[in-house]
Chain A
Amino acid sequence: MRQIWIITKRELRSFFDSLMAYIMIVLFLGFSGFFTWLSGSDIFFVGQASLQTFFGVSFWTLFFFIPALTMKLLAEENKTGTIELLLTKPVSDWQVIVAKFLATFLLILITLLLTLPYYITVANIGPVDHGAVIMGYLGLLLMSAAYISIGLFASSITSNQIVAFLLSLAIGILFHLIFGFISNVFSGIAGEVLSYLSMAEHFSSISRGVVDSKDIVYFLSVILLGLFASEAILAKRNTI
């Protein structure tokens, strides 16, 4: 656990040192703020004290931003060879993977914490459904964790950051859109399976304020699958 935290700290600092974190935070707050308060179907247009618009916008912005954060996690280490340095210190492959996942997750957590003023403002404007807001944030965090895990996997199989970025977007878009689209085409079991795989389905059901174990299991499986796959790729150096 100590080892994980040491690596997490380093990764987190590297996000801030490279300005990546600041760019991410500013862009995210800019986008979500603009669409929540100023433009389109914003809160004043809808006339309801709810953060649904914000969650809808974040659902998309996070989808695009997370691959940009995860792309360098392992790809850069593969390229510069620092992965060898790291893995010959007293840490296991699994600790490295978890630490990198955790660092990105903490950055997203910090970013989302910075949107709490939105919540406080809305709560002052009118009666807010506190449960729905908390669940909305939970949904965003779970979804982010799933995409981080996918991004980490994409980053583990290449030493090229651009490839890692595009690959994680490609895998992400399957969960984000395509499974949902196709599920409408198919009927019966195939349709159900595809709609179960769709991220949007689970996200909207959580952000409506309904916690179903089905959704939690879904997110946890995607996260764990990504982490295990990344570890397997990392361990593959032994079998080549």
Chain B
Amino acid sequence: MDILVENLTKKYGIQKAVDDITFKVKTGEVLGFLGPNGAGKTTTMKAITCYLAPNEGNIKVGGYSIKDDPEKVKQLIGYLPEHNPLYEDMGVIDYLKFVAELHNIPKSNIKERIVEMVKICGLEGEKHKKISELSKGYQQRVGLAQALIHDPEVLILDEPTSGLDPNQIVEIRELIRKIGQKKTVILSSHILAEVEATCDRIMIISKGKIVADGSSDQLRKQAQGKEILKISIEGADKNEVYTALNELDSVAYVDFISKSSSSFEVQSRPEMTSKRAVFQLCVDKGWYLTELTPTETKLEDVFRELTMN
């Protein structure tokens, strides 16, 4: 089921939390929202789930508009809000039953669905407790269980792994991946590794605008542009090496990494690589090339670069 967000704008007073963003998410896609705090991730999610009405623009989920058929849209979506609010005075089973009823699951199926959710979310040992008695991690699982109970076509998770221990995080990620094969999933996080591990597609939002959109590899490439190499050469005077490197056609910029050793950071010209030229240079001059490492642009760097200014 596709989600279509068209020119979405949401203002809080005069401040634009989300500023004219448009994107589409296809079935079987896991989209990760990244962005600094207050970038508009949560607001966008709240708009898709019909909690907040946008000031401008429209959102369609499976062809239904959030303006004309909010009830139908809500029925299609499983939503785990930020901070995972729950009716803490209720028991786990009672709570899941309540949500199942609200989602119009036929009475005969409710029990079966609850049993399945308890199994999937690992709540077996805790199911007879009150929600307020559960630890944060288990509460998070209850939150996930209520989002999944009606087998939704679209799953929207606002920071789904917050408060979980590392084992649980791995489990939840696997679960999201599995669900993501057939369903449409949008999740938000500010843990970059998590988004990289779970999502097919990453969207970075900053100040209410989309600043990057693509797979993690694409984003890296986009930010990389220029190749950066770390090179160490022995068997020659470092100033001589410095000059020789500078004279290579493909090299844009050379810098000493430290004053004592002959290590350099070499930046190539756009769309060019200097690896072969550097190697050839060493062969010609009879120098020893002891290190040649391409520096990878990390997703953290991409994120910082895109959201800082």
Whether a CB of chain B sits under 8 angstroms from the CB of A39 is no
Whether B85 pairs with A85 at a CB distance below 8 angstroms is yes
Q: Do A240 and B87 touch across chains, with their CB atoms under 8 A apart? A: no
Chain A contacts with B in 169-222, Cβ cutoff 8 A: none
**A80 part of interface (Cβ distance < 8 Å):** yes
Task: Indicate with 1 or 0, residue by residue over B107-146, a CB within 8 angstroms of chain A CB atoms.
Answer: 0000000000000000000000000000000000000001
* Complexed CA–CA distance, A238 and B99 (Å): 24
Q: B50 to A88, Cβ gap below 8 A?
A: yes
Please state if A3 and B81 are interface contacts (CB–CB under 8 Å).
Answer: no
Whether the Cβ atoms of A89 and B89 lie closer than 8 Å is: no
Contact A240 B12, CB 8 Å, known A81-B81, A84-B81, A85-B81: yes
Q: A18-B89, A89-B102 are in contact. Are A81 and B52 (CB under 8 A)?
A: no
Task: Determine the distance from Cα of A3 to Cα of B75 in the docked complex, in whole angstroms.
Answer: 12
State how many angstroms separate the Cβ of B73 from the closest Cβ of chain A: 9
Q: How does the 8 Å CB contact mask read for A1-43 relative to B, with 1 for contact and 0 for none?
A: 0110011001001100110000000000000000000000000
Residue contact A82 to B49, C-beta cutoff 8 Å: no
Report whether A84 and B86 are in contact in the complex, using a CB–CB cutoff of 8 Å: no
In the complex, what distance in Å separates the CA atom of A82 from the CA atom of B85? Answer: 5
Whether B12 contacts A85 by the Cβ 8 Å rule is no
Residue of A nearest to B86 (CB): A82
Output the least CB separation between A232 and chain B (Å): 14
Whether A84 contacts B89 by the Cβ 8 Å rule is no
- For residue A127, CB closer than 8 A to chain B, the reply is no
- Asked if B5 lies at the interface with its beta carbon under 8 angstroms from chain A, I say no
Assembled-state Cα–Cα distance A7/B99 (Å):
10
Determine how close the nearest CB of chain A comes to the CB of B56; give it in whole angstroms.
13
Q: Which residues of B contact A81 (CB under 8 A)?
A: 81, 83, 85
Chain B residues in 8 Å Cβ range of A10 = 87, 90, 98
CA distance A13 to B88 in the complex (A): 13
Cβ contact within 8 Å between A14 and B89? yes
Compute how far the CA of A11 lies from the CA of B217 in the bound complex, rounded to whole angstroms. Answer: 50
Which A residues touch B12, using CB under 8 A? 240
> Could you give, for residues 72-107 of chain B, a 1 whenever the CB lies within 8 Å of some chain A CB and a 0 otherwise?
101101010101011111100010001101111000
How near does chain A come to B277, taking the closest CB pair, in angstroms? 58
* Contact indicator per residue, chain A 75-118, by CB within 8 Å of chain B (1) or not (0): 00000111011011111100000000000000000000000000
B51–A88 touching, CB < 8 Å: yes
Q: Within the assembled complex, what's the spacing in Å between the Cα atoms of A2 and B102?
A: 9
Q: Flag if B85 contacts A80 (CB, 8 Å).
A: yes
Q: Contact check, A84 vs B74: say whether CB atoms are below 8 A apart.
A: no
Bound CA–CA A82/B98 (angstroms): 13
With A and B bound together, what is the CA distance between A6 and B97 in angstroms?
Answer: 10
> Using Cβ atoms and an 8 Å threshold, which residues of chain A touch B90?
10, 14, 17
- A18: chain B residues at CB < 8 Å are 89
Q: CA A13 – CA B95 in complex, angstroms?
A: 12
Complex CA distance for A17 and B90, rounded to whole angstroms = 9
Judge whether A3 and B87 touch: CB under 8 Å. no
Which chain A residues lie closer than 8 Å to B71 at the CB level? 90-92
Which residues of chain B are near A85, meaning CB under 8 Å?
79, 81, 85-86, 146
Give chain B's interface residues, CB within 8 Å of chain A. Answer: 12-13, 46, 49-53, 70-72, 74-75, 77, 79, 81, 83, 85-90, 94, 98-99, 101-104, 146
